Amino acid sequence: MSALLERRLLVVTGKGGVGKTTVAAALGLVAARAGMRTIVAEVAQRGDVASVFEREGSEPFEEVDLAPNLFHISIDPQDALEEYLRDQLPSGAVAELLIRSRVFAIVAAATPGMRELLTVGKLWELAQLDRRTPGAGAYDLVVVDAPATGHGVAVLSAPRTFAAAAGGGPVARQGKIIDAMLSDPQQVAVVAVATADELAVTETGSLRSSLKERMGLPLEHVVANMLDPDRFSAAEATLLEPHVRHPAVARALRGHHRALRQRAQLARLRELTGRAPAQLPLHPGGPDLELLADELEQQL
């Protein structure tokens, strides 16, 4: 875990429904426990992390505390655009004029990749020790609850795409600066969360290839989430088979066989990613964040 915490930006992604928000929150808690001033950033104006901590969602773009050393922000691209205009334009009046312009808002929203660029620009700003946001404190680590697998890579690669398209000028310069950080494995680490089912495992393998191809980044770690416990040995299962008509035995054997299928997918996940996944058990009644943080701290 210490190597992960040495980065400036920790990006957590995975197929929808695999529990990446909870894992991102738990990773933030691990860093906060270590005394690091940490913020968990969500994109697309979501506030799921706050609910994991049983806190009401904050206003978009508001940096709020969740626990000692742990903060949260929900990034809305429109707010990111307004902040960028106020920071970059020499005249506040011009910035406000553009912010209020309906035509400008439509053009910005319709530009392919603009939302991703604005989002990642704010993530980059959060990770700076000398932040451009007036009065904002620096963070030791930014944990990103990123979009689902494919879109997550698109967010990371947006600055490179825009810099290449712009050719020159301030947009290209800013894009290259942001891209230099996002493509630096000493500053950025990507963690994939997956469940042990075929589709999630396949997507995680594709993520590894896409990260390498588009960003030059390795897939740093994999977390296999919501795993059924091992119930019986092979010999014990054989002894139970003759009693399968009993409802309790049938349920237990179904759970046993589901766990066996998951173990087979774990082996495939390791083969596809080149990483031995951290294994998080299924928590009946919902995940316990403190317990998840303990488990991740021991395994990563």
Count each helix (H run) and each strand (E run) in the chain, helices first.
13, 8
Higher-pLDDT residue of 120 and 88 is: 120
Cα–Cα dist 8/128, whole Å: 8
Mean pLDDT of 291-295: 93
The pLDDT value given to residue 84: 65
Cα distances from 282 to residues 19, 20, 224, 227, in angstroms, run 11, 14, 10, 5
Least confident interval from 26-40, 51-65, 252-266: 51-65
Would residue 274 be called left, alpha or beta, if left means φ above 0 and alpha means ψ between -120 and 50 degrees?
A: left
Least confident interval from 148-152, 180-184, 238-242: 148-152
Higher-pLDDT residue of 216 and 118 is: 216
The pLDDT value given to residue 161: 86
Mean pLDDT of 146-160: 85
Cα–Cα dist 34/30, whole Å: 6
The pLDDT value given to residue 59: 65
Q: pLDDT over 70 for what percent of the chain?
A: 84
Cα distances from 102 to residues 45, 91, 98, 106, 107, in angstroms, run 20, 19, 8, 6, 9
Q: Are 193 and 14 in contact (CB under 8 A)?
A: yes
How does pLDDT run across 11-22, given as a tens digit for each residue? 999 988 899 999
Cα–Cα dist 117/103, whole Å: 19
Categorize the per-residue pLDDT at 165 as very low, low, confident or very high, splitting at 50, 70 and 90: confident
Higher-pLDDT residue of 170 and 289 is: 289
- Looking at the predicted structure, is the pLDDT value of residue 262 above 90? yes
Higher-pLDDT residue of 80 and 245 is: 245
Q: pLDDT over 90 for what percent of the chain?
A: 51
Q: Are 208 and 274 in contact (CB under 8 A)?
A: yes
- Looking at the predicted structure, is the pLDDT value of residue 123 above 50? yes
- Nearest Cα residue to 74 out of 49, 95, 43, 102: 43
Sheet holding 141-148, edge to edge: 64-67, 70-75, 38-43, 141-148, 9-14, 188-195, 221-227, 278-281
**Distance from chain centroid for Cα 42:** 8
Least confident interval from 101-105, 218-222, 242-246: 101-105
73, containing H or E segment: strand 70-75
Residue 31, both tokens: 């860093």
How does pLDDT run across 48-95, given as a tens digit for each residue? 777 777 666 556 678 889 999 999 998 887 777 666 666 655 555 544
CA-based end-to-end distance of the chain? 5
The pLDDT value given to residue 103: 45
The pLDDT value given to residue 2: 72
Average pLDDT, the chain: 85
Q: What is the CATH number of domain 2-299?
A: 3.40.50.300
- Looking at the predicted structure, is the pLDDT value of residue 174 above 60? yes
Residue 218, both tokens: 């390795």
Q: Which residues contact 181 (CB under 8 A, 6 or more apart)?
A: 8, 9, 124, 127, 187, 188
Q: What are phi and psi of 183, to 5 degrees?
A: -100, 10
Residue 276, amino acid: A
Residue 11, amino acid: V
- Looking at the predicted structure, is the pLDDT value of residue 223 above 80? yes
Mean pLDDT of 93-121: 61
Cα–Cα dist 53/66, whole Å: 7
- Looking at the predicted structure, is the pLDDT value of residue 201 above 90? yes
